[in-house]
A and B are shown apart, each in its own frame.
Chain A
Amino acid sequence: MPTLAHYLLVSGGLFSIGLAGVLLRRNILIIFMGLELMLNAANLSLVAFSRFHPGHDGLPGYNAQVLVFFIITVAAAEVAVGLAIIVALFRAKQTTHVEDLDTLKF
């Protein structure tokens, strides 16, 4: 039987992969995908905790699942706005490469 530790390690691994995408890839779209991976890794650990720590009534912690639901919703909104920004950025700069987007410096 898989234990809580299993799920936490998978969640951490997925988070690390997402972080690697954010830190190492230089295409802003891929960076964005990395962000989504990190969000979902967090969701996985939330759901795992809710399953492994049922309440006094013997049911999973549904509050955690509601939180996951909210995260998914906010992430959807975030994706929509973020992609719109990327489109606007591309229109202005003709690139999605972050090293070409370095105006914000001293």
Chain B
Amino acid sequence: MSTSVAPWIILFTPLAAAVGILFVGRYSKPLSAGLAIGSAAIGCALSWWLFCQPDPAESLSFPWIQIGTDLQIPIGVTIDHLSKVMLVVVTTIATLVFTYSIGYMKAEEGYWRYFAGLALFLFSMLGIVLADNFMMMFIFWELVGLSSYILIGHYFKRDSAADASKQAFIVNRVGDFGFLLGILFLWAATGTLMFGELTTGGIAVFAANPFYLTVACVLVFCGTVGKSAQMPLHVWLPNSMEGPTPVSSLLHAATMVAAGVYMLARIFPILAAAPPALDVVAWVGGITCFGAALMATQQDDIKRILAYSTISQLGYMVLGIASAPTPDVSMFHLFTHAFFKCLLFLCAGSVIVGMHHEQNIWKMGALKNKMPFTFLAMVAGALALSGCPFTSGYFSKDLIIAWAVVRHPFLGWLSVATAGLTAFYTFRLVFAVFLGKPRDEHAKHATESPAVMLVPLACLALPALVAGFPFIEKIFFHVADPEEVPFLLHPALYALFFGGVALAWTLYGNAAKDPVRIPFFANRLYIDDLYDWMVKHIQDGGAAVLSWADRWIVDLLVVQVPSKIAWAGGFVLRFLQIGNIQAYAFFFGAGVVGLLYLLIFR
């Protein structure tokens, strides 16, 4: 096998699995799970093998769309360092989550539908990672949105899940509209959609018109805002927690939402040529990172807390793209975040299964002794997330913060403050769930999850702790610290971490209910309410106008009136139908003679 064929196998095995599950899945649960896990495992093994190989000189690609000479779009794959790292992350995490799903979904309905959705998702995600042009990436981008829609709406009989899946889909449309426009902008100027050509020769086209490039980059960034749940399009991510927890873990924490960041990394040379666009990216990322952390401090649902922390961490990555001189800095955080956030979600899933699908952290408590293994894994993930010194999150996040402080001081210090908030809300979650007293019947009788769920936890806990160590980082990334970091930065980060944990311990170490009430944070900065208001008043107003136009202009004037005229004409004419054949012949003959006169003697 050569390195140019392997990516195609990695890409299409999950699709084959998805199709196979569609046909045979309904007859056998183990078969559908086995197909999905098998495809992920094959992809995983090949990805690691590919990672160890040198980059292929040229990759296989097939011509696909050819319109004149202006539009040439092949289907091809990019194999470079960036995509290989991403392949490894996606397939590894996917394999673990697929395995974990066997335990989590055991008693759920739609078992095969779920695994078909997961396999389809894996196919789409790998398509984004491997795409070598914008068109192909956009198609897989939408496919990812589709599989996300399918999986969030897995419990489609529940209204909230159906609504959440629709919301995720529609909110992403808003971002993707900008993304598509941006792609068209870039194509119109350079005449190519290939990443390779765009990032090397394509930028020169814009030298004369930097403003155009800025607009195009900001539009492309809209795609990231939607897919990676940046403000103000972040609202769908917390609601997507209606899906099964492994889905939240794989799609809405570890991989899919990182697609936006990956796309920014892929086109980084273009972005770097447009500094104003990078400023926009930095501000969106910084504000998202801080705002989402604020919202996370007052949530009660275990998965929503993690969802807001995901948004916050994605904000870090976006900020890192805009601040660091190389996208590897953000990809490094994406890499570590994938492990510890996936771990946290899987732990949350384990807790939720143990609690019989109760998700409110104020109905849990004292699970430490009932679920010791989950507790340990959760603590490992929490330490990494909150940037405890010498865990993976510490290395990657501090790198981003350091670059941000150097390049964008205000946003940098905002992200420093966010680090403290992160420690606080993460350990608020841990303390409320695992310490204190049981506050509910379920909490008293919770039991540890089965081994099929615990093994992935163990597999993830290790990289969550160590994936950031410099010797591992050197294998995957080439990053460097900024040269002059403010003297106070690292002490401040240590202090904020310990301060956050201590504050969480003081407030929540043994609390029966939340001692702090900040409605502004608990209500998610009222952004959702603002959207509700907009939908209710502005959009419904427009819809009312259109409905009126539809009813009275289209239905009445365009449809009803002509139909009535035709009917009336038919009513008059039907009196000519007298049933006498010879009368018809007479009409016919008279008509012919009349026509003769008209045509010949006119």
Interface residues in chain A, defined as those with a beta carbon under 8 Å from any beta carbon in chain B: 19, 22-24, 26, 28, 31, 98-99, 101-106
Question: In the docked arrangement, what's the CA distance between A8 and B581, Å?
Answer: 29
10 residue pairs bridging A and B, Cβ less than 8 Å apart: A19-B589, A22-B582, A22-B589, A23-B586, A102-B578, A102-B580, A103-B579, A104-B577, A105-B578, A106-B574
The answer to whether B578 and A23 touch across the interface, beta carbons within 8 angstroms, is no
Residues of B within 8 A of A24 (CB): 582
Residues of B within 8 A of A104 (CB): 577, 579
The answer to whether A23 and B577 touch across the interface, beta carbons within 8 angstroms, is no
The answer to whether B589 and A98 touch across the interface, beta carbons within 8 angstroms, is no
Per the 8 Å Cβ criterion, residues 218-270 of B in contact with A are none
Residues of A within 8 A of B582 (CB): 22-24, 26, 31, 98
The answer to whether A98 and B581 touch across the interface, beta carbons within 8 angstroms, is yes
**Separation in Å of the B187 CB from the closest CB of chain A?**
58
B599 on interface, CB distance cutoff 8 Å: no
- With A19-B589, A23-B586, A23-B589: A101-B581 Cβ-Cβ less than 8 Å: yes
Contact with A along B583-602 (1 / 0, CB 8 A): 00110010000000000000
Interface size of B in residues (CB-CB distance below 8 Å)? 11
Per the 8 Å Cβ criterion, residues 544-602 of B in contact with A are 574-575, 577-582, 585-586, 589
Question: In the docked arrangement, what's the CA distance between A102 and B578, Å?
Answer: 8
User: Of B577, B585, B586, B589, which is within 8 A of A105 by CB?
Assistant: B577
**Separation in Å of the A86 CB from the closest CB of chain B?**
12
The answer to whether B579 and A102 touch across the interface, beta carbons within 8 angstroms, is yes
Interface residues in chain B, defined as those with a beta carbon under 8 Å from any beta carbon in chain A: 574-575, 577-582, 585-586, 589
Question: In the docked arrangement, what's the CA distance between A26 and B586, Å?
Answer: 13
Residues of B within 8 A of A105 (CB): 577-580
Question: In the docked arrangement, what's the CA distance between A98 and B574, Å?
Answer: 20
Residues of A within 8 A of B579 (CB): 102-105
**Separation in Å of the A82 CB from the closest CB of chain B?**
13
The answer to whether B586 and A99 touch across the interface, beta carbons within 8 angstroms, is no
User: Of A23, A99, A106, which is within 8 A of B585 by CB?
Assistant: A23
The answer to whether B589 and A99 touch across the interface, beta carbons within 8 angstroms, is no
**Separation in Å of the A89 CB from the closest CB of chain B?**
11
Question: In the docked arrangement, what's the CA distance between A101 and B580, Å?
Answer: 7
Residues of B within 8 A of A28 (CB): 581
Question: In the docked arrangement, what's the CA distance between A74 and B83, Å?
Answer: 73
Residues of B within 8 A of A101 (CB): 581
Residues of B within 8 A of A23 (CB): 582, 585-586, 589
Identity of the chain B residue whose Cβ is nearest the Cβ of A99 in the assembled complex: B580
Question: In the docked arrangement, what's the CA distance between A10 and B576, Å?
Answer: 35
Question: In the docked arrangement, what's the CA distance between A46 and B578, Å?
Answer: 36
Residues of A within 8 A of B578 (CB): 102, 105-106
**Separation in Å of the A42 CB from the closest CB of chain B?**
13
**Separation in Å of the B588 CB from the closest CB of chain A?**
9
**Separation in Å of the B35 CB from the closest CB of chain A?**
62
Given contacts A23-B589, A105-B577, A106-B577, 6 further A-B contacts (CB under 8 A): A19-B589, A22-B582, A28-B581, A99-B580, A102-B578, A106-B575
Question: In the docked arrangement, what's the CA distance between A22 and B586, Å?
Answer: 9
Residues of B within 8 A of A102 (CB): 578-580
Question: In the docked arrangement, what's the CA distance between A101 and B579, Å?
Answer: 8
List 6 A-B pairs, minimum CB-CB distance, nearest first.
Answer: A105-B579, A102-B579, A106-B574, A98-B581, A106-B577, A105-B577
Question: In the docked arrangement, what's the CA distance between A106 and B581, Å?
Answer: 14
Question: In the docked arrangement, what's the CA distance between A31 and B575, Å?
Answer: 25
Question: In the docked arrangement, what's the CA distance between A22 and B90, Å?
Answer: 85
Identity of the chain B residue whose Cβ is nearest the Cβ of A22 in the assembled complex: B585
Question: In the docked arrangement, what's the CA distance between A41 and B577, Å?
Answer: 30
Identity of the chain B residue whose Cβ is nearest the Cβ of A28 in the assembled complex: B581
Residues of B within 8 A of A103 (CB): 579
